[in-house]
Chains A and B, each alone.
Chain A
């Protein structure tokens, strides 16, 4: 017989050679970078993290696909958002607000340079503002955009904003990651319109983008011209890993030093890593609230007794702990207390099935003998709950709520939708029950109250049948334009109290950011601003 084994060995050998050839050709470069970064690793303080998506075009004035955390590494605001909403000087050292609340004068920090060495001054601030305001429509979601009347470079280090009407959250709005951050002169395209793209990613921030390969990685190095305290680490490498399980595998292998973000790994994986002593894990303060909207424009939900019965009728604590395994915290109030003006004592709505049943009886929804769903005037007490079909937490919560409310005699039909379709139905006020999230720091509480009063976001519609809707809207308008701090505090208290009593927005849980890191990282703190990056304050062991 013949010896085919030898032949296949030759074939396999030839294949391996071929693979080696194809793999080497054209990739000398990336191999070289991989080696050089490995060498850097040995001599400098570097960390490697993963992110689910490409960092995007590093344009400070546009949105997706640019990633907020990366934009915030390069670009800085005039004012930054600190813990519990305290506003801190950033590129502006100080600021004056006129008596009528319509003029904001910023005294810019002197001797600030962009990463390319060019000067940061009032002129470039104005140029950035004007580039953003050229597309007011795109940025209209941010309240301050609607009220800016004029921008003015008063002198080299003084910049003034004039508003059409007073709007107190100007400084909060200017602290967000986009669009009001500053690009250096060299980054502007010839016609000055940054909406079309930027030439170079030149910012004043602590980092600069040293190397970038789309969909693969980005390397950030310390900005040598940075005005503030230089970060303790020299380099941050961001690997693009879209899959959550792969991220965990890479972390366990030691290819990653830190996994950071919201929902970046599965709950199971987080628990497993948390239990492992080799790693450190941390949860942030609440960054947002998961709520359930009970749409009062549905006649069945217009009755506060029905809404309260539903609110009381499920065991929120058990549900949140059971489903999120402690990653989220059960929420008693719509906004957590770590925003400005929200540290208000509100009466929580406690779980009480008997009271729920009594309230439904009182509202006329009775359980006919032999049936499982309550009825009134021949109508069944039945609702549709919309959830996002790719979100496992929403789905599990929707199923729990369905099961618990069925004990009350309320039928819930679940509809899983694609995100875009879901938002479309929210806007069209075509829903009964809907999972809704507020914006978080630094957007709240002012963005939250804004959607409570402005139609088109689904929240105002949810509240449309509550008896005091008009007064609520009036208070909201007042609070946003008020220049008196105490009055503002009082107004917020009354708005939050009303919303708590009405149970049309049912708080479920506070969402937290997670961080899991290797022992090599010795200090880690979550940024106060939900969209910012945590790298400037991060420390590692000396190699």
Chain B
């Protein structure tokens, strides 16, 4: 088990390597010179002398290979340098924003699971009942409503008109409600339908029929037997979404003035703030790998066949 986890963690190395190579290439293919972008962002007029000086300061005047090797070396030591724009260590800036992003990501995933699991199960059990119709409506809207618009709608209705919740910012739990619902909506739409489909399939399986004939109560047939299998694809999907949410949710952060990671990173792209971009890419790669690993571990725990089949093949 530990060996398995260790092996999976090692996968971070090649993935980070490829990710940094691609980002490095993209930054240098782009027609915008980072030194120039810095000066523009800083509202300093980019004279040739100043550009030269900044390029030297940022180490952009060195050969590309040397710059790249240097980048890799620093990432290996987990030293991300200082942001061009603020001159503060990138890691400090990222650290300051991570809690906000994590808070929103965790609450969104939790909320969407807690809403979509009961809804999905009920929709499958009472096919064509009102819950089923409701989930269909949610799925329809979830797929078609742009997130920013939903955000504004909720804000306008619950914060401005009804005056129940704050419009924006981060503070206590009330600030968390609207961004969480906005982010969860599309997830709920997805998860509910996913679970309904999987659940319906399972309920038609022979083992379910067998369980029923054994005289088990319907509740335990549905929740203990069928749900345990049907929830697997949902867990995979959750893992992917968790990675996505943890790397920042630009639109929702923007709409609700949430001081998270997404906004910071988008700005870094516009300013060609290379140290920040590199740190972000590294972090994103790690987060995705860890989230996937956790998903796999959960699945292994829930369905031990995965592990044994894997062994049989090797």
Contact A15 B254 (CB under 8 A): no
Those of B30-46 within 8 Å (CB) of chain A = 31-33, 36-37, 40-46
A63 to B159, CA, bound (A): 36
Contact B45 A31 (CB under 8 A): no
Segment at the interface with B among A110-118, A239-247, A480-488: A239-247
Whether a CB of chain A sits under 8 angstroms from the CB of B79 is no
Chain A residues with CB under 8 A of B264: 215
A241 to B159, CA, bound (A): 15
Segment at the interface with A among B6-14, B168-176, B203-211, B303-311: B168-176
Fill in one digit per residue for B43-54: 1 if any A CB lies within 8 Å of its CB, else 0. 111111110010
A214-B259 contact given A252-B160, A420-B40, CB 8 Å threshold = yes
Whether a CB of chain A sits under 8 angstroms from the CB of B122 is yes
Contact A246 B40 (CB under 8 A): no
Contact A197 B87 (CB under 8 A): yes
Segment at the interface with A among B58-66, B104-112, B188-196, B289-297: B104-112
Fill in one digit per residue for A178-217: 1 if any B CB lies within 8 Å of its CB, else 0. 0000000000000000001100000000000000011111
Whether a CB of chain B sits under 8 angstroms from the CB of A30 is yes
**A57 closest partner in B (C-beta):** B86
A34-B114 contact given A64-B85, A216-B259, A418-B32, CB 8 Å threshold = no
**A251 closest partner in B (C-beta):** B167
Whether a CB of chain A sits under 8 angstroms from the CB of B214 is no
Those of B61-102 within 8 Å (CB) of chain A = 85-88, 96-97, 99
Dominant SS at the B interface?
helix
A56 to B85, CA, bound (A): 10
Contact A242 B263 (CB under 8 A): yes
A326 to B222, CA, bound (A): 65
Contact A11 B118 (CB under 8 A): yes
A57 to B82, CA, bound (A): 15
Whether a CB of chain B sits under 8 angstroms from the CB of A137 is yes
Chain B residues with CB under 8 A of A239: 168-169, 257
Chain A residues with CB under 8 A of B114: 11-12, 14-15
Fill in one digit per residue for A121-141: 1 if any B CB lies within 8 Å of its CB, else 0. 000000000000000011011
A14 to B114, CA, bound (A): 9
Whether a CB of chain B sits under 8 angstroms from the CB of A1 is yes
**A56 closest partner in B (C-beta):** B86
Contact A24 B173 (CB under 8 A): yes
A253 to B158, CA, bound (A): 11
Chain A residues with CB under 8 A of B163: 253
Quote the shortest CB–CB distance from B198 to chain A (angstroms): 17
Fill in one digit per residue for A284-296: 1 if any B CB lies within 8 Å of its CB, else 0. 0000000000000
Chain B residues with CB under 8 A of A240: 257, 259
A419-B40 contact given A243-B257, A246-B167, CB 8 Å threshold = yes
**A197 closest partner in B (C-beta):** B87
Chain A residues with CB under 8 A of B232: none
Chain A residues with CB under 8 A of B42: 62-65
A283 to B214, CA, bound (A): 79
Of A26, A138, A255, A423, which is within 8 A of B99 by CB? A26
Fill in one digit per residue for A448-468: 1 if any B CB lies within 8 Å of its CB, else 0. 000000001100000000000
Chain B residues with CB under 8 A of A39: none
Whether a CB of chain B sits under 8 angstroms from the CB of A249 is yes
Chain A residues with CB under 8 A of B99: 26
Quote the shortest CB–CB distance from B11 to chain A (angstroms): 30
Contact B173 A19 (CB under 8 A): yes
Contact B155 A138 (CB under 8 A): no
Those of A1-44 within 8 Å (CB) of chain B = 1-2, 4, 7-8, 11-12, 14-15, 18-20, 22-24, 26-27, 30-31, 34
Whether a CB of chain A sits under 8 angstroms from the CB of B201 is no
Quote the shortest CB–CB distance from A228 to chain B (angstroms): 28
A418 to B40, CA, bound (A): 11
Quote the shortest CB–CB distance from B230 to chain A (angstroms): 15
A456-B176 contact given A249-B167, A253-B160, CB 8 Å threshold = no
Whether a CB of chain A sits under 8 angstroms from the CB of B121 is yes
Quote the shortest CB–CB distance from B39 to chain A (angstroms): 9
Fill in one digit per residue for A473-500: 1 if any B CB lies within 8 Å of its CB, else 0. 0000000000000000000000000000
Contact B50 A138 (CB under 8 A): yes
Contact B257 A30 (CB under 8 A): no
Category for how many chain A residues contact B:
35 or more
A250-B167 contact given A2-B217, A423-B40, A423-B46, CB 8 Å threshold = yes
Whether a CB of chain B sits under 8 angstroms from the CB of A86 is no
Whether a CB of chain A sits under 8 angstroms from the CB of B156 is yes
Contact B103 A140 (CB under 8 A): no
Contact A456 B47 (CB under 8 A): yes
A170 to B167, CA, bound (A): 46
Whether a CB of chain B sits under 8 angstroms from the CB of A519 is no
A55 to B168, CA, bound (A): 18
Whether a CB of chain A sits under 8 angstroms from the CB of B256 is yes
Chain B residues with CB under 8 A of A18: 110
Whether a CB of chain A sits under 8 angstroms from the CB of B255 is yes
A403 to B161, CA, bound (A): 42
A34 to B217, CA, bound (A): 52
Whether a CB of chain B sits under 8 angstroms from the CB of A424 is yes
A477 to B99, CA, bound (A): 55
A63 to B121, CA, bound (A): 57
A527 to B118, CA, bound (A): 58
Whether a CB of chain B sits under 8 angstroms from the CB of A275 is no
Whether a CB of chain B sits under 8 angstroms from the CB of A427 is yes
Chain B residues with CB under 8 A of A11: 114, 117-118
Of A12, A27, A242, which is within 8 A of B257 by CB? A242
Contact B47 A140 (CB under 8 A): yes
Fill in one digit per residue for A45-71: 1 if any B CB lies within 8 Å of its CB, else 0. 000000000001100001111000000
Fill in one digit per residue for B244-256: 1 if any A CB lies within 8 Å of its CB, else 0. 0000000000111
Fill in one digit per residue for A419-463: 1 if any B CB lies within 8 Å of its CB, else 0. 111011001000000000000000000000000000011000000
Q: A19-B173, A420-B272 are in contact. List 17 more A-B contacts (CB 8 A).
A: A4-B122, A11-B118, A12-B115, A15-B110, A19-B176, A23-B176, A31-B171, A63-B42, A64-B41, A65-B86, A137-B50, A141-B47, A213-B259, A243-B255, A250-B168, A255-B166, A418-B32
16 A-B pairs within 8 Å (CB atoms) are namely A1-B219, A2-B219, A2-B222, A15-B110, A15-B111, A19-B173, A19-B180, A30-B172, A64-B42, A140-B47, A215-B264, A246-B168, A249-B160, A252-B160, A420-B272, A423-B46
